[in-house]
Amino acid sequence: MDLNKREYVKDVLNKKDNSKVIVAGWVEKVKLMGNLNFINLRDRTGVLQIVAKGFKELSKLTPESVISASGTIKKGQKKSGEKELILDNYEIINPAETPLPIDIFGDTTSIDKRINYRFLDARNPKINAIFKIRSNMFKSIVDFFSKEGFIKINTPKITAAGVESGSELFKIDYFNKKAYLSQSPQIYKQMMVAAGFERVYEIAPVFRAEKSHTTRHLTEFIGVDMEMGFIQDENSVMDVVENLIKYIIKDVKNNCSDELNLLKVNVEVPKSIPRLQIKEVKSMLKEKGKKLSDNDDLDSESEKIIGEIVKKKYKSDFVFVVNYPWDKRPFYHMKSDNDSKGTKSFDLIWNGVEIGTGAQREHRYKILKEQAKEKGIDLDKINGYVDIFKFGCPTHGGVGLGLDRMVQCLLILNNIREAILLPRDPERLTP
């Protein structure tokens, strides 16, 4: 059968009666009724009923085998009048063994086992839909940044050392030298603002050697990082992030309505995202019985509670928490104008989960060095970084978002492992 002439099920279902077509896909079901047999054939666009008059050997066709089929389109017998294919001929491209190692269409298999057999698991249209939406989100992000004049950069993932603490670095053997997998493109994106690109972004793997077994941490995830020059303050960055979020949700709603319906997810484009001072957030948390000191960070429990509070009080799924304590932020975050204990930084929380951290960065060479000293950082070790700010660098700031977390939050998935095809965590290196 000429696979160059193969058409998608979705298109075939819209054809006129008596059209001759070739389709191909997976055998979802075979119904044997003697002289009149039926195959449900699935491809990535839908399921088509094939009516096979005769073809007794179909009893040997196993579920999930891959076949091609040719025949004539006819209006079906069902009330819906959905088109069927009257089979002329079929070929088995690859038979599937039985039994299948997982129940593709049930919900009884553990996520762990499903990921072991992701190539089967993702044949479930609901799982498939997650990754179609993820693919669209990726496209939306690229569209948005291009529209806003950002330049896409690619930065090294093998590095000498991170600017941030070393505890989360994966060490690798690099021709007898010490090297690490990149835990953030921070240094490079700031470098490229200074290089005159002004606005840059990268969507790329980020590696974190955190031995956490949570539903929102991976050891390898996709970071969506941007950095922009000539900002007024951190609000300039939040404005862009807010527009990015609106753009993604609008674009996904426009392009993925079938997939969202299948997953029973109803998302709304936020009107505006509230920006709350961390002090204000902490007093709201206190009212809920969660006490945090001025210098504390927000832990995941606090993020969850704050997610519930803003949902009620502001009718918003999102919140920017701003002005995090200097104690908890890296040395390159700019300090607040009138409060040396605060920073011009923010976190973005979606349905109670942090999806991004950003800030205005300190671009003044002398102050940056003082801040590094204050954090007890050995200046000799960060020369390569601070030199960026010695020869002309604009005010700038940026954000690091996690794509996998965004997919998780958009689709309200209870585990980040549902949002990535082949997750890496402390226990998993395969497939």
* Whole-number Cα distances in Å, 338 to 294, 316, 334, 350: 16, 29, 12, 29
Angle at 364 between CA 362 and CA 365, to 5 degrees: 110
| Binders of ligand ATP in range 209-268 (CB under 6 A) | 210, 217-218, 221, 223
Burial of 299 by CB count in 10 Å (0-12 exposed, 13-18 middle, 19+ buried)? Answer: exposed
Q: Does 330 bind ligand ATP (CB under 6 A)?
A: no
Q: Does 402 bind ligand ATP (CB under 6 A)?
A: yes
CB-nearest residue to ligand ATP: 402
Count residues contacting ligand ATP (CB under 6 A)? 15
Q: Whole-angstrom Cα distance, residue 204 to residue 133?
A: 18
Return the bridge partners of 235, or none: none
Single out the residue of 202, 259, 317, 404 in contact with ligand ATP (rule: CB under 6 A).
Answer: 404
Q: Which stretch binds ligand ATP (CB under 6 A): 7-15, 68-76, 338-346, 395-403?
A: 395-403
Q: Whole-angstrom Cα distance, residue 372 to residue 230?
A: 23
Single out the residue of 140, 351, 357, 360 in contact with Mg ion (rule: CB under 5 A).
Answer: 357
**x-or-dash string of contact with ligand ATP, 345-374, rule CB under 6 A:** ---------xxxx-----------------
**350 and 319 in contact (C-beta within 8 Å)?**
no
Task: Name the residue among 300, 270, 264 with its Cα closest to residue 285.
Answer: 300
Q: What is the smallest separation between the CB atom of 402 and ligand ATP, expressed in angstroms?
A: 3
Task: Name the residue among 332, 355, 333, 331 with its Cα closest to residue 344.
Answer: 333
Which of Mg ion, ligand ATP, none does residue 405 bind to, with CB < 5 to 8 Å depending on kind?
Answer: ligand ATP
Q: What is the smallest separation between the CB atom of 311 and ligand ATP, expressed in angstroms?
A: 19
Count residues contacting Mg ion (CB under 5 A)? 1
Q: Does 162 bind ligand ATP (CB under 6 A)?
A: no
The H-assigned helical ranges of 351-412 are: 365-374, 383-386, 403-410
Q: What is the smallest separation between the CB atom of 323 and Mg ion, expressed in angstroms?
A: 14
In the complex, which residues of this chain contact ligand ATP (CB under 6 A)? 208, 210, 217-218, 221, 223, 354-357, 400-402, 404-405
Q: Which chain residues interact with Mg ion by CB under 5 A?
A: 357
